[in-house]
Structure 1
């Protein structure tokens, strides 16, 4: 097997992961919006926003039905939005899908789906959405839950070749339209499906040993024309980020100065992004310094045989309070300790 063919087959799990990662219920995402999502949102049709994006999960003056994972996201914004177009119609887009996914993620499983429906009804009512829109969103939720249940079995199938993945993508495409209808399925997944199809077509071209290098380059260039302009730009930016990060790592391993690192980033990203990266580097260095100090002093406490277990634990807690002044930092260090087995 030649090197190109091996690279293609090795990448198949990643491709199918892109097709079906969202099928199985998982933890609620609390990180920043991916770059791809930010870019895509900039190209959505104009709409009148009516949703929870930008607000706390549970407003102080509203008592919503509780879901098992509420506490995990009590201090973050709701993912996604319920949006209306200029005519007052519900916008069927990825923002609505993300909104439903957010609340589904709070359930922890199908046994809480009835509570989920009551919770979503309360959320929609609190947003003062028109009654018909509320009913429509709840009906879509029913269809979406039905689709997710049907898709779970499909996500567990094994896929060993490009043709297997292509067939699975076709099955998922049909399953979505069977459960959600063509309009909702297209709004929720249409652009994603087209991008994945282009990915598979690229794999087929790369794996075609009958093509010369020039023929392969032309075929790939023609295929890229099927992608939206922002997807091509996103691919270019992603490649730049990866290449620049590797160059930065190499510079630092070679003992280069931070001025040299800054110059490289300026050429790749521009001044604004370079400043953000410099601040991020500084924050990471400060965190590592505090983490090193904490671990050193904690080791002294752990090795102090004169302390009773309760006194030792109290001393560690006091150390955390002193070095990590923010609660989210203390949660982070406790999680690190559980993972690394650092706790005494």
Structure 2
């Protein structure tokens, strides 16, 4: 069940991931063109294009956002906007780029690989944009075209993505001057920037699959470079890496904790204990989610505290699993146990580590 669950997202993002690997192996900035997945958003969902109501604008450049900004719908053409510089954004292109982002029944955006490709395409036309005031006007335009929570969420997404791009550009400028850069360290620094500027949940939903493939490819490269391995051992380890990718273990950053490495032994013990397949997958997802939530810790002291709490939780979870209770009762007690060891923010991060569109 877990393997089937993760399988659909592997092919969907493989092309864009391989195209974007160069930035990790060399210090050049990310330059890959937006890659559109081969599938359409889930048919039960609507899209931003269907929700969009064109704001009423005036003036000869009503479809252009200038470097001095475009006012909200009723203020377009205001004299304060005169003298715009040559830098501008074609609003029709922006609207078209964002139109494919899916929206659920409650009007909330679905941050899947289509959303990520849409953002990349939308920002491609103004890659040099660095004026926060212009971004503010851009957000106001998006919010004016989309009603209610959908508009507010879409506008926030545009602003957050702009700030992330700015932070990413600054980080890449520093990386260019580093000698012998560590690709894995760069990847995790970039993942941290995404969590910081997009929020942990949105960052996971937009980039979780891509980051998983990048960690997998880096692990493969490290395996190939190891001169001490016999070919048979190398093939076995390569097969294990593929299995780990399918099982979602590369979706989280496991540096500094052995929880993921221990998961293989735990999974075998759970099977020997006679736990059902559903219960074993529940426990695996739980472990991966909790390790993902560890990223909320910003200091080594906080990371050490997380490890202490995780070890205590794991020990007490094992006690429950070894009891004679039914599997549903074990799950109920473990769910209750989680709240005794982890904060609400950590539990939310653990719950959302696997993007909804990957839960198939």
TM-score by length of 2: 0.46
TM-score by length of 1: 0.47
